[in-house]
A = this chain, B = another copy of it.
Amino acid sequence: MTDFILTTFDWVPDIPRGYVRDLRVRWALEESGLPYRVESVTFGERGEDHFAHQPFGQVPWLTDGDTSIFESGAILLYLGERSTALMPHDLAARNKVIGWLFAALNSVEMATVPWSLFMFSQDSEDTPGRRMLENFLASRLRHMEKVLSENEWLAESFSIADIVMSDALRLVDRFDGLAQHKACREYIARATARPAFKKAHKDQLAFFAAEDARRNT
C-alpha cells in the first residue's frame, strides 16, 4: 500500500492557522491509522497544476496513487470507505454517518462560515440581511444543541461526521458564539480531546511554523 498524499498550502497567515481544511483530513487519517504524508503547494501564486487538482485554487486535496480527490467532504467520505474507525460498514449506521456528514457541510457550515466572515471583519452593523443570517445560525445551533445534549456522537460511534461538525462548531466557539450552547461546547471538548485531533492540530501549526522559520533564515 502506498501512502496517501495530503496536499495543503506551504504557508498561510496567522488567522486561519489551526483551521485550514487540511486539519479535517489529517484528523481522519490519524484516527484511521492509514499511512500518509503531507506535501504542499504555494499559498501565493496558484498555477494551472493547482487548479487541475482543486478547481477553486483551495486546499486540501488527497492523492491515492493515480486518484486525486478534492473537497474535504469528498476526501473524508473516501477515507471513510477505507476505515471502519471513520465510518462503519453496517448499512444503516453508514447512512446515518453520511446524512450527518452532509448536514455538517450544508446545513450547519453554510451558516457558520458566512457568520464568521462578519465576525472576522468586525462588522457590528445590524442590518436586515445580517439579522437573517444571525437567525439562520441560531436556528441551526438550537437544533444541534438538542441533538448533542442527547448524543455523544452524531451516529452510533465517532465518525467523519463528527470531524466536520465539531470543526464547524469550533469556528463559532472561536468568536464566543456558543455561550448559550453548553452541549455544543461539551461536544467540541470531547472531539478535540481525541489524540488524533491533537496530533492533527499540532502538526498543522508546526507545518506552517516550519515555513515561517525557513523564510526567516
Contacts and interface: CB of A to CB of B under 8 A. Distances in A.
Contacts of A120: 132
A144 B53 CA distance: 14
Contacts of A92: 67
A34 interface: no
Say how many copies of this protein the assembly contains: 2
Interface residues of A, number: 50
A5 interface: no
A142 B114 CA distance: 18
A40 interface: no
Contacts of A111: 114
Interface in A146-170: 147
A118 interface: yes
B74 A102 contact: yes
A20 interface: no
A98 interface: yes
A106 B106 contact: yes
A109 interface: yes
Given A105-B105, A110-B113, A110-B114, 17 more contacts: A56-B139, A56-B143, A71-B99, A71-B107, A72-B106, A73-B102, A74-B98, A74-B101, A78-B95, A102-B105, A117-B129, A117-B132, A118-B133, A121-B128, A123-B127, A123-B129, A123-B132
The 5 closest A-B pairs by CB, nearest first: A123-B129, A118-B129, A114-B114, A71-B102, A73-B102
